Amino acid sequence: MPQNIPVIETKRLVLRGPEAEDYPDFKATFTSYRARFMGGPLNAYESWMLYAAEIGHWEIRGYGMWMIHDKITDETYGMAGGWMPAKWPEKELAWVIWPDAAGHGYALEAVDAARRFFYSEREWDTAVSYIDPKNLDSIRLAERLGATKDKTAPTIDGSDAVYRHPSPAELNGTQLAHGIEMEISHYQDPLFKPKGWAID
């Protein structure tokens, strides 16, 4: 059956398929208050079942959520990728950053890379992110990625806001694309740390 999960490298990060050894990091976040906007906090059993389902999602859909690793230390910072379990109206770009890894622009860098991959390698022509309206950090990240609230798009269950990402054309050599690229490069440059930016 199995297909291999592609590996994506960015300047600071490596995105790889979720593996058994990464599970404790996933569990720590999903059983914590941090997971309140992602259906959590989960108990230990639900957390394991969800992690296994994240891997099964790759097999079923041919895409899924990557584990975000530091390129040098290999430690994990969170997950990012494509997500569409049953009941999702359309394909989602999703992310979660472990609380300790917030504030370094890792989610921005990882989701930007994932979006490029889906647009160029998998020919997605659009993507949304379903976000709890109270999850302001996540909404801000969606906006920094150029996504805008799509009030006409169907929601998962009425309690989430739909943010629609810019299309491939809107990211092709545009000012929006350059702005995102510049923000990511500022995070990557140790001498140019953005201060007082959104926590992601």
Partner 1 sequence: MPVIPTLETDRLILRGPSMDDFEPFAAFYASDRAKFVGGPLDKEGSWRMLAMEIGHWMLKGYGRWTVALKDTTEPIGMIGPFCPHGWPEPEIGWDLFNGYEGKGFATEAAVASRDYAYDILGWDTAISLVKYGNDKSAALALRLGAKPDGDFTHDRHGLMQVYRHPAPQELTDGGIEAYS
Q: Could you list the residues that contact partner 1 (CB under 8 A)?
A: 1-5, 17, 20, 23, 43-60, 85-87
- Give the nearer residue to partner 1 in terms of CB position, either 58 or 98: 58
- Give the nearer residue to partner 1 in terms of CB position, either 24 or 196: 24
- Give the nearer residue to partner 1 in terms of CB position, either 43 or 174: 43
Rounded least distance, CB 62 to partner 1, Å:
11
Dist. CA 67–CA 182, nearest whole Å: 24
Residues listed for the chain: 200
Pairing of strands 76-83, 148-149: unpaired
Rounded least distance, CB 3 to partner 1, Å:
7
Q: First CA to last CA across the chain, in angstroms?
A: 36
- Give the nearer residue to partner 1 in terms of CB position, either 59 or 121: 59
Rounded least distance, CB 19 to partner 1, Å:
8
DSSP-derived 3-state class of residue 22: helix
Determine the angle formed by the axes of helices 175-188 and 106-121, rounding to 10 degrees. Answer: 140
- Give the nearer residue to partner 1 in terms of CB position, either 45 or 192: 45
Handedness of CA 8, 9, 15, 21 (dihedral sign): positive
**In 65-126, where does DSSP find H-type helix?**
106-121
Is residue 3 exposed (0-12), middle (13-18) or buried (19+ Cβ within 10 Å)? exposed
- Give the nearer residue to partner 1 in terms of CB position, either 1 or 191: 1
**In the chain, where does DSSP find H-type helix?**
23-30, 44-61, 106-121, 136-144, 175-188
Rounded least distance, CB 52 to partner 1, Å:
3
